[in-house]
Amino acid sequence: MKQLTFRNGDKLDILGLGTWKSKPGEVYDAIRSAIKIGYRHFDCAFIYMNEKEIGHAFADAFAAGDVKREDVWITSKLWNNSHKKEDVLPAMKKTLSDLQLDYLDLYLVHWPHVFKKDFMGATKAEETWSTAEVPHIETWREMEAAVDAGLAKHIGVCNFNKHKLKALSEQASIIPEMNQVELHPMLHQNDLLEFCKENGVHVTAYSPLGSPDRSAGMKASDEPNLFEHPVIKELARKHNCTEAQIMIAWAMQRGTAVIPKSVNPERQLQNFLSTEINLSEDDMQLMASADTGYRYVKGQFWAFEGTEYSVDWLWNR
């Protein structure tokens, strides 16, 4: 398995298991089976509302001797309503307690938006703080404190465009080590990837399969299905593998970590075996033709009139 190397030499398996949309009642078995298949990288978040059950699965896997804590990489994320300095470490400790862990391998700021404490899913301007009131660096100082306290080995961000990443990095003592963003064959984000590479920031691809299991409210009526994309279908035929394996292999070939979600052991195995597929230069060029910049997770749900939080602010400013 290809790995990403962090500044202190720590290594991360490039393929991990996503847990967004993995429901309580199914995520326990999903974690246990993924560990047995060989997954050693797990992507979690407070807002996925399943960290307690994931914690049980890890505790049981460690107790059963399936794997040791130090041999798995566990990522989690700070939710938008806990960006104020007094809220960051308590939020992180809640995640650690739910996951039954002493430390996280990686802790990420989930979104650049800041919500007031009582509003997990803000719906209007009054339920948010501006980034003038709660600047990203205020949150980041506490993320750095988590590293100093040994609660997180590495810290980073998600959904940060290059302008926000640059602004934060200029003030940070620990430059973000990871940026987790949506990436798949219809959304390459080459410019952001280049910026991250130049600045020593690793990138993780979320929604690598287009997240077809998003709730109806999060889906556009005319959204494309990556599994039906002609370029992906052609490459799957050529390599005698599945469309999912092409999408995952492509992400790894670009040097990004990738976290396909599956709660189904056969599909977990299928996804894991993507590591055996090598796409040629020609295949990669063909994939380049699929890039239309299409986002499945558009961020319009947190664009509030009377705030800075617009879709344009999120992705471009």
Q: Site residues (CB under 6 A) for ligand A2P? A: 18, 207-213, 242, 244, 260-264, 267, 270-271
Rounded to whole angstroms, the Cα distance separating 91 from 101 reads: 14
**Minimum distance, C-beta of residue 223 to ligand A2P, in the bound complex (Å):** 13
The tokens describing 210, both together, are: 């287009």
Rounded Cα distance between 37 and 3, Å, is 17
263 neighbors 21 (Cβ within 8 angstroms): no
First to last CA, the chain: 36
Look up 48 and say whether it is catalytic. Answer: yes
Q: Which of 48, 206, 296, 309 is catalytic?
A: 48
Supply the minimum distance, in Å, between the C-beta of residue 270 and ligand A2P: 5
| Cβ nearer to ligand A2P, comparing 250 with 309 | 250
Nearest Cα residue to 13 out of 53, 77, 73 = 73
CA separation for the pair 203, 59 (Å, rounded):
28
Nearer to ligand A2P by C-beta: 181 or 209?
A: 209
Report the residue number, 121 or 212, with the smaller CB distance to ligand A2P.
212
> Which of 135/265 has CB closer to ligand A2P?
265
State the nearest-atom distance from the C-beta of 258 to ligand A2P, in Å.
9
Which of 119, 114, 112, 125 shows the shortest CA–CA distance to 161? 112
Report, in Å, the least distance between residue 279 CB and ligand A2P.
Answer: 17
In angstroms, rounded to a whole number, what is the distance separating the alpha carbons of residues 245 and 236? 8
Report, in Å, the least distance between residue 17 CB and ligand A2P: 9
Instruction: Identify which of residues 128 and 271 has a Cβ nearer to ligand A2P in the complex.
Output: 271
Q: Looking at beta carbons only, is 43 or 142 nearer to ligand A2P?
A: 43
**Residues across the chain:** 317
CA distances from 299 to 98, 115, 119, 256 (A): 27, 14, 17, 22
Q: Please report how close the Cβ of residue 210 comes to ligand A2P at its closest, in angstroms.
A: 5
For the residues of 141-161, what is the DSSP string, one character each?
HHHHHHHHTTSEEEEEEES--
**In angstroms, rounded to a whole number, what is the distance separating the alpha carbons of residues 224 and 129?**
34
The residues assigned a catalytic role are 48
